[in-house]
Amino acid sequence: MSDFSDNVLNWFARHGRKDLPWQQELSPYVVWISEIMLQQTQVVTVIPFFNRFMATFPNVKALANADIDLVLHHWTGLGYYARGRNLHKAAKAIVNDYDGNLPVNVEQLCQLPGIGKSTAGAIAAIAYKQQAAILDGNVKRVLTRFHGIAGWPEHSAVKARLWQLDESLTPEIKVAQYTQAMMDLGATVCTRTKPGCDRCPLSEKCVAHHTDSIDQYPGRRPKKILPVKQVAMYMLQNKRNEVLLQKRPPTGIWGGLWSFPEADCPSEEPALLDDSIEVESSSKWPEVRHTFSHYHLDITPVHNKVRCQKNTIMDSGRWLWYPLDKPLEVGLAAPVKKLLRQLAQQPGN
């Protein structure tokens, strides 16, 4: 092993995290679920979601056989909902094509929905002890600072160089420990702000540390002004304190989640659904902004008290009367969940 990996492993033996929930009973399934949840999400946020998810879906067959609404319900609040949808799709593929066992090699893992090269490397290294590199945000930060690699890490040339370096540094033995160590080092020592260079096992040869330029690495993403989109969300509440929700298409923003009926701009009496619903009163709520990675969405909630001539409406697979006093196990878009909570707290509910 190189001095680099030796130093990282020695540091991990003394200071690495070893008490995380997904480290207790290690299996390919556990590693897979945790690595997907940890994509662009901090450990402290993931822990309660992981515990609830594993309690409901303890193995890949349970996940594959579950209804997608239940899966997304357990993902509600974690964000990046495509991860949840892809987990469900991948679980079905694992059961149908691999007899319920996650593939062993990186190439096959990358064929599953939602698994890229870095996540595949983590599964192969941690679960199967294979010499496979990972390149998540933590590892990128460590490598760019240590080697003084300028430029945005997602730029193709920079990323290619990082992969080359990463693969050359990944040891053949103790690869599982090394993989976890690199993620821990970036998450707990070589942090975005106020890194603990005095505690870092690599500081002696770190370019950024010795040139006093830590804040320059990794290079920042080129600035882009996010466009702003607007939408009105209609909260149709009936006499039974139920609110009408609509299931979104399986792909796209909030794919497969339940949300309020929408329109481009609010109107006093929305032309929605059919004549079985009569709007008795309408009020606009303060605008809410929800920010995605590529645009801001300004939401105008419109609260409508309605009278319904029927108990059901149209296609039950597309529409749902959601009871405010008894949360259902369905996937909800984050702003929808927040607005439902506010509705439930209204006087008289």
Is residue 183 within 8 Å of residue 138, measured between CB atoms?
Answer: yes
Give me the helices (H) in 82-215, please: 82-97, 106-109, 117-128, 137-147, 156-169, 175-188, 207-210
Q: Phi, psi (5° rounding) for residue 298?
A: -95, 120
pLDDT of residue 252: 86
Annotated catalytic sites, by residue?
35
Region of poorest pLDDT, from 5-9, 115-119, 274-278, 303-307: 274-278
- Give CA separation, 113 vs 32, 36, 313, in Å: 12, 11, 34
pTM of the model: 0.79
pLDDT of residue 269: 53
Is 349 a residue whose pLDDT tops 90? no
Strand residue runs (E) in 238-295: 242-247, 258-259, 262-263, 277-284, 288-291
Mean pLDDT for 90-102 is: 97
Residue 270: pLDDT band with limits 50, 70, 90: low
Residue 251: pLDDT band with limits 50, 70, 90: confident
Residue type, 77: G
Range(s) of the chain covered by CATH 3.90.79.10: 228-344
Number of H helices, E strands in the chain: 13, 8
Per the prediction, the chain carries an average pLDDT of: 92
Q: Phi, psi (5° rounding) for residue 40?
A: 60, 25
Identify any residues that bridge with 262 across adjacent strands, giving them in sequence order.
Answer: 233
Q: What is the CATH number of domain 228-344?
A: 3.90.79.10
pLDDT of residue 310: 56
Range(s) of the chain covered by CATH 1.10.340.30: 3-216
Mean pLDDT for 123-142 is: 96
Mean pLDDT for 215-219 is: 94
pLDDT of residue 308: 79
Domain 3-216: which CATH number of 1.10.287.990, 3.40.50.12780, 1.10.340.30, 3.30.360.10: 1.10.340.30
Token pair in block for residue 117: 């090269």
Mean pLDDT for 231-251 is: 91
Is 87 a residue whose pLDDT tops 80? yes
Per-residue DSSP letter, 171: -
